[in-house]
A and B are shown apart, each in its own frame.
Chain A
Amino acid sequence: MHSFGYRANALLTFSLTALAFICAIASFSDNFSNQNPSAEIQIVNINRFKKQSYGNDEVSLTLDITADLQSLFTWNTKQVFAFVAAEYETPKNSLNQVSLWDAIIPDKEHAKFRVQTSNKYRFIDQGHNLRGKEFNLTLHWHVMPKTGKMFADKIVMPGYSLPDAYK
């Protein structure tokens, strides 16, 4: 009953259980944080708007993104993944979401930022429906914890539109 084997086994089991319990509580504590992130996006310029050789529309634009995501960081946060997506509807597709830019925010200091950038990923439609198209720009964030449950949310900013003619 008091051999080395029994003691080692009991120690291992107890420490694993305690670790699992601590991870669960750490994750649970994330539910109590107050979160109020804010963001604003402006389209600075439409650089290119053309129809590709296979018939799909492609847009290249420059965005000015201001955001304050500092309230999302808790002690259990490893990083926040933020991205901006354009959402719009076409006759064939009820929903299109195209990610234009993303960033990994490693800590609270970097979470309040302003960046002006052209779209990181190509904005290509399935078809040629983008002329005069109205779309929403959404800033999504994905909180990746040190342990436990991940959660995500977004801010939807409606009211952006593309020009009526190719450029």
Chain B
Amino acid sequence: MGYIGETIDSIKSIQIRQLLTQAISLGMIVTSALIIWKALMCVTGSESPVVVVLSGSMEPGFKRGDILFLHMSKDPIRAGEIVVFNVDGRDIPIVHRVIKVHERDNTGEVDVLTKGDNNYGDDRLLYAEGQQWLHRHHIMGRAVGFLPYVGWVTIIMTEKPIIKYILIGALGLLVITSKD
């Protein structure tokens, strides 16, 4: 009971200047996180430098909840690379391995076929209607490194959004009631 009384007291005693200062420091934290994210996008050359593994199609190497670091370079796509691609019309990126490459002589364009390590067949079923091959513009990046389990935070927040709201609410409460 004493803690709630204290909290109510501290909310009542907020002055405008203090509130503004805290709002600005919160804004600085959010902005610096955004700066780091955008800088990562520049450094790795990929639109999403970090992705979370959502399905079990690359087990046992990548389990659901792992995160992958991506890098995109102008190097040609070769068999064996683990690539992240978007199928036309779907917005969830897929992380699978390249198993076939046919590179054109004159234009440098390339036909690519992918397959998840743990899947029985190749990804033709996942591609758009009538599409047999992936091309360079579908590929968003190559996986170069990985960290286990860290992605569960994102998965939980996406699948149970109530946890996201609880977290943000608690953070907001902390910011308001902190004495500094």
Contacts and interface: CB of A to CB of B under 8 A. Distances in A.
B89 interface: no
Contacts of B174: 5
B39 to A, nearest CB: 18
Contact of B105 (A94, A144, A149): A94
A104 B147 CA distance: 19
A166 interface: no
A78 B79 contact: no
Nearest to A147: B147
B100 A146 contact: no
B79 A99 contact: yes
A67 interface: no
Contact of B103 (A5, A95, A148): A95
A17 B143 CA distance: 23
Given A94-B103, A104-B117, A79 B60 contact: yes
Interface residues of A, number: 33
A93 B107 CA distance: 10
A93 B170 CA distance: 58
Contacts of A85: 79-80
A97 B61 contact: no
Given A78-B61, A99-B79, A146 B104 contact: no
Contact of B80 (A79, A83, A92, A104): A83
B145 A94 contact: no
Contacts of A99: 79-80, 99-100
A34 B142 CA distance: 25
A108 interface: no
A96 B77 CA distance: 11
B126 interface: no
Interface residues of B, number: 28
A160 interface: no
B100 A150 contact: no
A81 B61 contact: yes
Interface string B69-85: 00000001011111000
A93 B103 CA distance: 5
A27 interface: yes
B61 to A, nearest CB: 4
Interface in B74-131: 76, 78-82, 97, 99-105, 111, 115, 117, 122
A152 interface: yes
Contact of B61 (A91, A92, A144, A152): A144
Given A79-B61, A144-B146, A148-B147, 9 more contacts: A91-B105, A96-B103, A98-B99, A99-B99, A121-B100, A126-B102, A144-B61, A145-B146, A150-B145
Interface of A: 5, 23, 27, 78-79, 81, 83, 85, 91-99, 102, 104, 106, 121, 126, 140, 142, 144-150, 152, 154
Interface of B: 60-62, 76, 78-82, 97, 99-105, 111, 115, 117, 122, 143-148, 174
7 contacts: A79-B61, A81-B97, A96-B101, A102-B99, A121-B99, A121-B115, A150-B145
Return the 8 tightest CB-CB contacts between A and B, nearest first.
A99-B99, A97-B79, A94-B105, A97-B101, A95-B103, A140-B80, A144-B61, A149-B145
